[in-house]
Amino acid sequence: EAESWAECLDVAVRTALRAGQMVRVSVMQEKRVSSKSTPTDLVTEADQHVEELIISTLREKFPSHRFIGEESSAAGEKCVLTDNPTWIIDPIDGTCNFVHSFPMVAVSIGFAVKKQLEFGVIYHCFDGTLYTGRRGHGAFCNGVRLHVSKEKDVSKALILTEIGAKRDPHTLDVFLGNMKQLLSTPVHGVRIIGSSTLALCQVASGAAEAYYQYGLHCWDIAAAALIITEAGGCVIDTTGGPLDLMSRRVVAAGSQEIADYIVQQLKPISYGRDDDD
Ligand code: IPD
């Protein structure tokens, strides 16, 4: 069985590279942009085409597997994690960046069996960086082993977050309040790059100490959570408990100390769950 997941990982890598190529071509073409849950939750035709490419390729090879994809979910497919082998796919993470040709866009493919993540693949479409992780086998960037930052002192931390799609005054107050709380710790810095998966990959690489967000989705976390864990980091819920893929909340850090500190500072923003109908 373990070997067959290795084959799945191989296929995932090849599929992510092909999808990334499609993203690089599409970014130079005229984009048809529309919005989903809110006016700032963007989608383009490219998101849908890239997801179709990924899912049809994987489904042909693994017909019995299940698929959770950002655009399939937007089109009304159920977003529920069962014990079956399940692929969790974000065809274009950083759609707003993609729309503006801001070069931080990734393809993310995670794979879970019995609700446990087995591997993750994240491909940075513009600089060609490939992040991979397989449970029990480590995390890699272009084949080089990844290690998180071992910094325990939050006042020396570089912290990443993302804004999320809700922009009502209460949400913005809490979002900015959380950021103010961390900035006044003071931490070294806070960054927003516009792609949850690539931000999480910076934590896996040790280029940032931590990441937190309310409002992301299972396809933004799945692959990256495995990669960070395999790089030696911790990925938990904003309440301090174990990560819940469907909860739309995450705190990830190189060290437990920094993760715990962030958990204590955050005030919650309620986004509901991915697996709510
Ligand atoms: C989004 C981006 C964004 C983050 C959102 C994600 P998408 O993914 O990563 O930076 O704030 O929470 O859902 O829609 O571009 O795939």
- What ipTM, to 2 d.p.? 0.95
Q: Is 224 a residue whose pLDDT tops 60? A: yes
Work out how many domains the chain is built from and give that number.
2
pLDDT (mean) for 162-184: 97
pLDDT range class, residue 120, cuts 50, 70, 90? very high
Sign of CA dihedral 245, 221, 224, 50: positive
CB–CB of 246/274 below 8 Å? yes
Beta bridge partners of 224: none
Q: What percent of the chain has pLDDT over 70?
A: 99
Mean pLDDT (the chain, rounded):
96
Closest Cα to atom 11, ligand 1: which residue? 164
Q: Is beta strand 158-161 parallel, antiparallel or unpaired with respect to 189-191? A: parallel
pLDDT tens-place string over residues 47-68: 999 999 999 999 999 999 999 9
238 and 137 co-located in one domain: no
- Is 260 a residue of the active site? no
140 and 6 co-located in one domain: yes
- Paired tokens of 83: 């014990």
* 272 within some domain: no
- Is 95 a residue of the active site? yes
Boundary of a domain, candidates 117, 145, 173: 145
115 and 248 co-located in one domain: no
Residue 3 Cα to ligand 1 middle (Å): 32
**Cα(189)–Cα(244) distance, integer angstroms:** 27
Among 61, 112, 69, which Cα is nearest to 89's?
69
Give the CATH number of the domain where residue 118 resides: 3.30.540.10
Ligand 1 touching residue 196 (CB < 6 A) = yes
* 200 within some domain: yes
Ligand 1 touching residue 93 (CB < 6 A) = yes
Whole-number pLDDT of residue 3: 60
CB–CB of 92/71 below 8 Å? no
134 and 211 co-located in one domain: no
22 and 140 co-located in one domain: yes
Q: Is beta strand 106-113 parallel, antiparallel or unpaired with respect to 116-124? A: antiparallel
8 and 140 co-located in one domain: yes
Ligand 1 touching residue 69 (CB < 6 A) = no
Residue range of the domain that includes 65: 2-145
pLDDT (mean) for 76-102: 96
**Cα(111)–Cα(104) distance, integer angstroms:** 23
CB–CB of 235/252 below 8 Å? yes
How far is the CA of 117 from the CAs of 85, 198, 221, in angstroms?
10, 18, 11
CB–CB of 248/216 below 8 Å? yes
Atom of ligand 1 nearest to the CA of 91: 16
Whole-number pLDDT of residue 1: 56
* 270 within some domain: no
120 and 176 co-located in one domain: no
Q: Is 277 a residue whose pLDDT tops 90? A: no
Residue type, 18: R
Boundary of a domain, candidates 145, 173, 193: 145
Residue 252 Cα to ligand 1 middle (Å): 16
- Is 220 a residue of the active site? yes
Atom of ligand 1 nearest to the CA of 93: 16
164 and 96 co-located in one domain: no
Q: Which residue has the tokens 């850090």?
A: 253
Residue type, 130: L
